[in-house]
Amino acid sequence: GENVEQHPSTLSVQEGDSAVIKCTYSDSASNYFPWYKQELGKGPQLIIDIRSNVGEKKDQRIAVTLNKTAKHFSLHITETQPEDSAVYFCAARDSNYQLIWGAGTKLIIKP
Amino acid sequence: GAGVSQSPSNKVTEKGKDVELRCDPISGHTALYWYRQRLGQGLEFLIYFQGNSAPDKSGLPSDRFSAERTGESVSTLTIQRTQQEDSAVYLCASRGVADGSNQPQHFGDGTRLSIL
In this predicted structure, what is the pLDDT of residue A53? 85
Q: Which residue has the higher pLDDT, B2 or A110?
A: A110
In this predicted structure, what is the pLDDT of residue B101? 65
In this predicted structure, what is the pLDDT of residue B59? 93
Of A87, A78, A68, nearest to A25 by C-alpha is A68
Query: Which one of B43, B47, B53, B109 would you mutate to disrupt binding with A, by most A Cβ within 10 Å of its Cβ?
Result: B43
Model confidence at A96, pLDDT cuts 50, 70, 90, reads: confident
Q: Which residues pair with B44 in a beta bridge?
A: B36
Over residues A41-74, the pLDDT tens digits come to 999 999 999 998 889 999 999 999 999 999 999 9
Q: Check CB contact under 8 Å for A43 and B109.
A: yes
What is the average pLDDT across A25-45? 94
Residue A95 C-alpha, separation from nearest chain B C-alpha, in angstroms: 13
Q: Which residues pair with A95 in a beta bridge?
A: none
Over residues B90-114, the pLDDT tens digits come to 999 999 877 666 689 999 999 999 9
A82 vs A101: CA distance, rounded Å: 25
Q: Check CB contact under 8 Å for A104 and B42.
A: yes
The torsion region of residue B40 among left (phi > 0), alpha (psi -120 to 50) and beta comes to left
Of the partner residues B42, B56, B91, the one whose CB lies closest to the CB of residue A43: B91
Q: H-helix or E-strand containing A25? A: strand A19-25
What is the average pLDDT across B49-68? 93
Of B69, B43, B73, nearest to B54 by C-alpha is B69
Q: Residues of B with CB below 8 A from A102's CB?
A: 42
Which backbone phi and psi does A35 adopt, to 5 degrees?
-120, 135
